[in-house]
Chain A
Amino acid sequence: MTDEELMLAVGNGDQSAYQVIVKQHLKPVSYYAYRMLGNQKDTEDIAQEAFLKLWVNAGKWQAEKSKLSTWLHRITRNLCIDYLRRHKRIELQSEFQDEVEANQESRENPSDGSEAFQRAKQLELAIKGLPENQRSALILCHYSGFSNKEAAVIMNMSIKALESAIARAKRSLRKALSETSIEHQEIDDI
């Protein structure tokens, strides 16, 4: 069955068609949400809500305007943005706490201070620190495999604006990685 046939069936209340769509799209949707939020529990809530929205609004999807995966990622992105806006203050507090805990852990467990671990940690932090639109552009194009054009549709922006967001995101991450390398070089020198 094509996406169009499946969505038509979902619009008519066919739960087996809904199951097929969930099985096909759950992984990319949940991975996208996780990379946006960095939190497993909230990612699961967002994924659940995204598929509920798909069920309720199945009749509104227009095959000639966008692919189903594009539409579903757009729904997920909007939910992630709402979530991030609601939890901005809480997130800042927990980030601070995470950082304190991470510092304590690295002091207690010196093996985690390896360069590879530090680089991964630094990269994760740098991604978390990116503005939402840069993070989303990076995730959609690098991880989710969307073309720049499709990602621009999901993010409701021009291709030029999207490319500019990707460029800024990658430059920031590259800078963060090179800073980690310099820090390790200095530690090795000492």
Chain B
Amino acid sequence: MITFDEFSRLIVVHGANLAAWPSGLQRAGEDFIAGSEEARALMNDYLELEQQLDLLPVPAFTGLETRILGQPLPPHTVSPLDQLLDWLLPNSGFVSRLWQPVAGACLPLAFGIILGNFYSFGVAFESDEIEYWEDELSMLSLNNYSESDFNEG
């Protein structure tokens, strides 16, 4: 059984015509109206409001269709950004839906690796003494650590 508050909420949300209510609520609404004078009065008020709303006129808009169909239509051109977005977020195909965003996300990483491989961005790894890591390693291997440790000790 529904309450009056619930009934008044349903009547504004679904309209005063009970036939338009969700099927599960129609019977409950009919039963409630049958037993409540207040509910019948409320329903009549909203029925009247809806009838008044239906009476409000709308102009004929003659010539609007011709005007719309006569307006010049721009050619269909897709901007490069839209093309990229369409490719990255495709509407159809499960595989393309999955791999294209992944590929898109990997692109900056691949770009960064390539860029980092070719450009040093002003960071100098070279010095006058040791030009390459290989040279440094070979120099280190020539050090006699055991002798220097004994001398210091």
Residues of A whose CB lies within 8 Å of any CB of B are 11-13, 15, 18-19, 22-23, 26, 30-31, 34-35, 40, 43-44, 47-48, 51-52, 55-56, 58-59, 62, 119-120, 123-124, 127, 141-143, 148, 163, 166-167, 170-171, 173-174, 177-178
Residues of B whose CB lies within 8 Å of any CB of A are 9, 12-15, 45-46, 48-50, 52-53, 55-56, 58-59, 61, 64-65, 67-69, 71, 73-76, 78, 86, 91
Please determine whether B75 and A13 come into contact, CB atoms closer than 8 angstroms. yes
Given contacts A18-B73, A40-B59, A143-B53, 4 further A-B pairs with CB under 8 A are A59-B78, A59-B86, A123-B52, A167-B12
B91's nearest neighbour on chain A, judged by CB, is: A62
A120 in contact with B52 given A15-B73, A34-B58, A48-B67 (CB within 8 Å): yes
> How far is it, in angstroms, between the C-alpha of A167 and the C-alpha of B9 when the chains are bound?
7
If over half of A's interface residues share one DSSP class (helix, strand or loop), that class is named, otherwise mixed; here it is helix
Closest 4 CB pairs of A and B: A167-B12, A163-B13, A170-B12, A13-B76
> How far is it, in angstroms, between the C-alpha of A141 and the C-alpha of B53 when the chains are bound?
12
A177 in contact with B49 given A43-B61, A44-B61, A167-B12 (CB within 8 Å): yes
Contact partners of B61 in chain A: CB under 8 A? 26, 30, 34, 40, 43-44, 47
A-B contact pairs, 20 of them (CB 8 A): A22-B68, A26-B61, A26-B64, A26-B68, A34-B58, A47-B61, A48-B71, A51-B68, A55-B74, A56-B74, A59-B86, A119-B52, A120-B52, A123-B56, A143-B53, A148-B13, A167-B9, A167-B13, A170-B12, A178-B45
